[in-house]
């Protein structure tokens, strides 16, 4: 099976989170010469598949087979992998069945690798990510099977294929603030405590503010307000409280401590409660590591482009891999239609991604 045929097979299989659509069984069968370990947890399907060629380093390719719901308004059935000219349409074409097909084919054709090649796959990256990659990594750690380096095949390119890899990601801090007031009649504001009026001034000094200056690797951590709710949708009653939600995509300079201090500084003596949660933490892979140097070389060999090293964007399962002491980067096709109606990629991008991964395997020890 060629990589495009394989890619279309993956895309045409409906695998909305946390359903794998039977793809992990198919992958284990397709790579039957590899050892397969299923690490399913509750309704999440996980697969770790590996082959030891020699005593060298362990190179892992990681990703997910699950996709977000397709929604409506598609020009083609989102699970038909319809090709129109150079484009192939379907849910998951960019995020990230192109990456899965590319590294599946690349490792299947590997022959003279000096160490171990493996795939780490889950059906729960687009969901809560509680029983997916995290559980596989726990298993690998317990069994002394953690890889030395890892490539996550998320879509990373921006304007053209080969122009960007991710060498790190920002963390994500979620904030839930409740400002307490005292409900009252709008005609007698002096008898009430209106939290909307109270927050008006500090809000202008908080919204969209950078909490640090960033650095050469990361953009500044910005305080982004995502929701404000208060009142009973009437004109003659002032509200009893106000609820505000915010998010900070934080770099390595800002933690929950700095966020709390920022809120306290601007809220002052106001009566408020603040709760913070954090689903992911920032990480950065040293750009001088062998993994970054080799993926740069492979991309330039295939495309003629030297990729930039980026930490922009949202998050991925790389956030779970890096804390295990594993050097990790992300590289995949363009990401301009991910999660959207009529998600698509090109045949050439998928073929070139396969060539990059195949080249990476071939040059790893050279």
Which residues does the annotation mark as catalytic?
Answer: 66, 125
Question: Rounded to whole angstroms, how far apart are CA atoms 342 and 201?
Answer: 43
Residue partners of 94: CB distance under 8 A and separation at least 6? 155, 332, 333, 334, 335, 336, 337, 338, 343, 344, 345
DSSP sequence for 37-95: EE--BTTB-EEEEEEE-SSS-EEEEEEE--B----S--SS-TTS-EEETTEEESTTIII
Of 22, 60, 18, the C-alpha closest to 42 is: 18
Q: Are 129 and 273 in contact (CB under 8 A)?
A: no
Q: Are 312 and 219 in contact (CB under 8 A)?
A: yes
Alpha carbon separation from 119 to 84, 90, 131, 136, 335 (Å, rounded): 31, 23, 17, 11, 22
Q: Are strands 308-310 and 164-166 parallel, antiparallel or unpaired?
A: parallel
Question: Rounded to whole angstroms, how far apart are CA atoms 268 and 259?
Answer: 14
């Amino acid at each position: 099976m060629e990589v495009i045929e394989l890619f279309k097979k993956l895309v045409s299989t409906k695998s909305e989170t946390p359903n794998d659509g039977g793809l992990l069984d198919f992958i284990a069968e397709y790579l039957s010469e590899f050892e397969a370990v299923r690490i399913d947890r509750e309704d999440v399907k996980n697969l770790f598949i590996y082959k030891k060629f020699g005593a060298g380093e362990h190179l892992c390719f990681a990703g997910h087979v699950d996709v977000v719901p397709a929604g409506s308004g598609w020009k083609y059935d989102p699970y038909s992998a319809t090709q129109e000219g150079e484009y192939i349409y379907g849910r998951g074409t960019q995020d990230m069945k192109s990456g899965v097909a590319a590294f599946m084919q690349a490792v299947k054709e590997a022959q003279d690798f000096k160490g171990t090649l493996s795939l780490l796959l889950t059906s729960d990256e687009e969901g809560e990510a509680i029983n997916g990659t995290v559980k596989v990594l726990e298993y690998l750690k317990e069994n002394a099977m953690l890889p030395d380096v890892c490539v996550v095949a998320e879509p990373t390119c921006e304007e053209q294929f080969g122009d960007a890899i991710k060498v790190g990601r920002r963390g994500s801090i979620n904030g839930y603030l409740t400002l307490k007031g005292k409900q009252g009649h709008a005609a007698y504001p002096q008898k009430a405590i209106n939290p909307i009026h109270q927050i008006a001034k500090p809000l202008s000094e908080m919204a969209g503010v950078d909490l640090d200056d960033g650095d050469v690797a990361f953009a500044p951590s910005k305080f982004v307000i995502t929701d404000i709710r208060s009142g009973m949708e009437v004109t003659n009653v002032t509200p009893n409280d106000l609820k505000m939600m915010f998010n900070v995509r934080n770099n390595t300079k800002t933690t929950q401590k700095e966020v709390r201090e920022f809120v306290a500084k601007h809220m002052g003596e106001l009566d408020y409660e603040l709760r913070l949660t954090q689903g992911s933490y920032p990480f950065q892979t040293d750009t001088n590591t062998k993994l970054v140097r080799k993926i740069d070389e492979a991309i330039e060999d295939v495309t003629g482009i030297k990729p930039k090293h980026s930490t922009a964007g949202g998050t991925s399962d790389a956030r779970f891999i890096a804390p295990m002491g594993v050097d990790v980067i992300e590289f995949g096709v363009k990401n301009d239609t991910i999660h959207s109606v009529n998600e698509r990629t090109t045949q050439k991008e998928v073929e070139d991604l396969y060539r990059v991964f195949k080249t990476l395997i071939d040059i790893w020890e050279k």
